[in-house]
Amino acid sequence: MAINFDLNDLQAFRAVAQLSSFRRAAESIHISQPALSRRIDKLEDALGVKLFERSTRRVALTNVGRAFARDAERILDDLDNALLGIRDVASSSLGHVTIACVPSAAYYFMPEVISRYHKAFPRIRISVLDASANEVLAAVVNGDADFGLNFIGSQEPNIEFKLLLQERYVAACRRDHPLAGKKRVTWRELYEYDYIAVGKVSGNRLLLDQALTGLPQRPPSICETQHVTTMIGLVEAGLGVAAVPTMAMPGGDHPVLTSVPLVEPAVSRRVGMIRSKARPLSPAAAQLYRFVAEMKTTSRRRVAG
């Protein structure tokens, strides 16, 4: 018996099944929504069953659709694994992986990882969603990203958190600033100078507020930003000092910026990879996940240095 559908139809079905949205599924596989609907209609006609219950507000798998989704996922993953395992084919494989990460991790981890991955799989496209910690977590939970790099998520019941490193917060300042010559700086000393802070919606702000509850009332900052990388730019411009995670700082040979360990208390954050426990990684995403994990030892040495 001939079945009149192809891999493109299966990929469209998987996207809708995972995202529960025709619009988001169409965006994820880079086709128009009408084209996606035609692929689903073609697949349902070929199988002679209804795979989705559709309304103006929601899309849900039917009982038959749920059973077929498991088989379709296995078929597509087996094929991807087979292709990725063949060197000549892997180098020409098409695909798309989306990773969400906080900006400091995007700056610190991703250039080397993406370079290595691109050499191995030059035709697999990578999208990097650099966003706040809360937005990164939401992107992974909602399926907008295959996995993420974040410092929150370890307490989420449906999220797997794989630790990469633990890093301390440091005082970022210009080399000509009075704090630059110190071996360590207390938080009270830091707040004696004009300082730049992250806004209240930032995951870094929440972490620092919790860690510094024992300190007396802090003076107001002269400026607030949403991202640590923006703070670094303002520090470089001479607007003040800032408390930032180690990985956000440029290398020690930077001509303008330097950092000093912050103490009393020493505050650190745990950076790791997050992924949904309910949604398996595609073979292409699993390969990128492995590449990031392999940065673990190197990254720890660099942060310690």
Write out pLDDT tens, residues 217-241. 788 999 999 888 899 999 999 999 9
Domain limits at 96? 89-164+270-296
Is position 60 within any domain?
A: yes
Q: Is residue 42 a contact partner of residue 4, using CB atoms and an 8 Å limit?
A: yes
- The H-or-E segment that residue 205 falls in is helix 203-211
**Cα separation of the two ends of the chain:** 64
Task: Kindly state whether residues 67 and 160 are assigned to the same domain.
Answer: no
CATH, residue 281:
3.40.190.10
Is position 76 within any domain?
A: yes
SS3 per-residue string spanning 242-272: EEEEHHHCCCCCCCCEEEEEEECCCCEEEEE
Task: Kindly state whether residues 74 and 52 are assigned to the same domain.
Answer: yes
Is position 130 within any domain?
A: yes
Task: Kindly state whether residues 29 and 60 are assigned to the same domain.
Answer: yes
Q: Which of 37, 35, 73 is nearest to 54 (CA)?
A: 37
Domain count, the chain: 3
Task: Kindly state whether residues 16 and 100 are assigned to the same domain.
Answer: no
Within 13 Å, how many C-alpha atoms sit on residue 169's CB side?
Answer: 26
Whether the predicted pLDDT of 1 surpasses 80? no
What is this structure's pTM?
0.67
Model pLDDT for residues 68-77, shown as the tens digit of each residue: 888 888 887 7
Is position 11 within any domain?
A: yes
Is position 305 within any domain?
A: no
Is position 1 within any domain?
A: no
Kindly indicate the confidence band of residue 158, based on its pLDDT and cuts at 50, 70 and 90: very high
Domain boundary among 42, 66, 88: 88
Is position 66 within any domain?
A: yes
